Amino acid sequence: MPSLSLRIDLDPDGRVGPGKIALLEQIEATGSISAAARAVGMSYKRAWDLVEESNRIFGKPLVSTQAGGRRGGGAELTAAGSAVVRRYRAIEEAAGKAAARHIEALQAEIDGACPAMAAGSSLVLAVDSYIFDGYDRNEFAATIQRGRRPLAYSYMPGFGNDFETECLPGALPQGMNSPQRPAYGLYAEQLSGSPFTAPRGTNERSWLYRIRPSVKHHGRFSAASYPHWKSAPNPDDHDLPLGQLRWNPVPMPAEPTDFIAGMRTVTTAGDVFGQAGMAAHVYVANTDMVDDHFFNADGEMLVVPQVGGLRFVTEMGVMEVAPGEVCLLPRGLTFKVELMDDQARGYVCENYGAKFTLPDRGPIGANCLANPRDFKTPVAWFEDKETPCRLTVKWCGGFHITEIDHSPLDVVAWHGNYAPFKYDLSTFSPVGAILFDHPDPSIFTVLTAPSGEEGTANIDFVIFPPRWLVAENTFRPPWYHRNIMSEFMGLIHGKYDAKEEGFVPGGMSLHNMMLAHGPDADGFEKASRADLKPVKLDNTMAFMFETRFPQLLTRFAAELDTLQDNYIDCWSGLKKRFNGTPEGDWS
C-alpha cells in the first residue's frame, strides 16, 4: 500500500519534514545529538546542521545544549521543540486520515496498470528510512515506472557479505548463476574482482543480470585527456625540494566541471602497472555527469566528501554520500556522479593494490572500530534509457572514451560479494588509552589494503574522530614521529588537535617517509601545560591515507597557489628546554 510522506513548507524559505522531526524525537529520547544522529542513520555534522536550521526557521531554539545534560548527552528539546513535534504529528495523522480513501484508490490504479509490480512486493513511495543525509532533497515520493519497482536508495547492511537484490520479481535466478534463458530476456554476466582461484576468504565476484551485456556498452575507443589525473610511477614531475608540505583547500572551478574532469592528483605512490601503491586526489565539481559514465580498471576508489553531497549512480545501485561519510567504488564498476548541492569538493584514494578490508582487531575482540553492520551496500537499480551516452575508462594510467546509444546502467538484479558500499564515519567506535600514554594512530584504522608483507599495509585509511582524552600525566596530542610509512592527511571539518591553526577544512598535508612531524609549537605549549581533566575532542574529523610507498608530488600540487610556503615555520617556536636539571626549563 502507498504511504503518505508529509513536508510542511514555511515562509519565507524553511520547511519541516520527516527527517527533522525524527531527529528531534530521537534527541528527546536519548538526550544526545550524537546518539540521535546514529539512531536515524545520519552523520553527526548533518544532525548539527539540521538542529541549527530548525532553530533558525522557527526563530527560537528547538534544542538546548549544556554540559553533562540528562543521561550525559547534553541536549534536550525546549518547550517550543516539543510543541513543533506534537503539531507535526497531529497534522500528519489528520492528513493520513483525509487521504486514506485516495491512497487506496491509487493502489487500485497501480494494481491494474502494473501487475508485475503488484505481484512482486509492496509499493515503496517514501525514501528508505536510512537515508537522512541530504534529506531535504529526498523527501519526495519515488517515481512509479511501469514494470519496475521504485527502490528509493535503499541499502543492505554488512561488510563483505554475499548480497542478493532485484528490481523485478523473479529477475534473480535461484539455485544457479547462468540459466539458458534468464527471466525478462536479461543477460547473465560475471564481474570478478579477484582471480578465479583466489582463496575463498578473498575471492570476490558478483553475477549481474542486465538488459545488455557489457560488450554492448562500448564501441571503438579513442584517446581522452584528463591532464590533472596522474598515475604512478610519476617521478620528476616538479622541482620542489623535499620537505613537509601543507595546502589550503583547492579552489572550486569557475567553469562547468564534473566529478571526473575535476580530479586533481596530489601524490602518486608505487606502480599502477604492478598493481601496487596508490594515488591521492582532490576532486572539485559543480555539474552532474548526465550521460557520461566512467569505470576505473586501475584500482578501486575510496571517496571522502568534504563539501557537498554526491549521488553515485552505479550499475549495481545508487548511493548518496554526504560529508562525514565515505564510499568505495570497486575496480571496474561503471558509474556516474550527480551533485546533491551546487558544488562539491573532497578527497579520493585510488588503490592500485589488494582491496580495502577491515583490519583485524586482535585483542580488542569482536567489537569496536568500524563494525561490519554499519557498512551499507545499495540495492539493485537500473535505467532503460536509449539516448547517446559516453563511457570513459581509465586503464594503465591512460584514458579512453567510447560513445554508445544507451545507458550502461542496466543491471536489473545481482548477487555476490563484489559491490560498492558507503560508511558513516560517525559510527566508528574509537578505542584509546584510558590510563596513560598515547596509542599508535593505527588504533583508528577504518579500512586497510594489505600488501604481500604481513602487518605492512599497501594503504591504511585512518580517521581522527570525536573522542574523549582521559590519559593521566600524558602528552595527549599525537607525539613527534619519524615513520617508514608516508602520510597524506585531510580535514573534513573542525580542527585537528595537533595543529589547531593552519590546517583547515578542505586542506591537506603530506609527511613522507622518515620526514619528522608532530604538534606545532602552539599545540605543544597548550598540551604541555593543560589541566589533565577528561576532555572531549568534538566537532572534528580528520583522516589519513597512509602507505608503505613514498608519495611523489605531482606538478599540480607543487605549483598549487594554496601551498603554504611557511608550513615548516610551525615548529620554529619549539624551544630548547634541556638545562641539565631533571625539571628542565619550562619558563
Q: Please state, in angstroms and rounded to a whole number, the distance separating the CA atoms of residues 418 and 355.
A: 10
Element housing 94 (H / E): helix 79-113
Q: Quote the DSSP letter at residue 374.
A: G
Looking at 218, 438, 493, 517, which residue is catalytic?
Answer: 438
Q: Please state, in angstroms and rounded to a whole number, the distance separating the CA atoms of residues 464 and 476.
A: 13
Closest by Cα among 42, 60, 38 to 50: 42
With beta carbons less than 8 A apart as the criterion, state whether 147 and 117 touch: yes
Strands 445-450 and 486-493: unpaired
Angle of helix 79-113 versus helix 44-58 axis, rounded to 10: 110
How many other CB atoms sit within 10 Å of the CB of residue 548? Answer: 21
Grid cell, residue 141, equals 515520493
Beta bridge partners, 535, equal 469
How many other CB atoms sit within 10 Å of the CB of residue 238? Answer: 15
* 438 in catalytic set: yes
With beta carbons less than 8 A apart as the criterion, state whether 420 and 328 touch: yes
How many other CB atoms sit within 10 Å of the CB of residue 55? Answer: 17
Element housing 35 (H / E): helix 33-39
Q: Quote the DSSP letter at residue 177.
A: S
**Catalytic amino acids?**
438
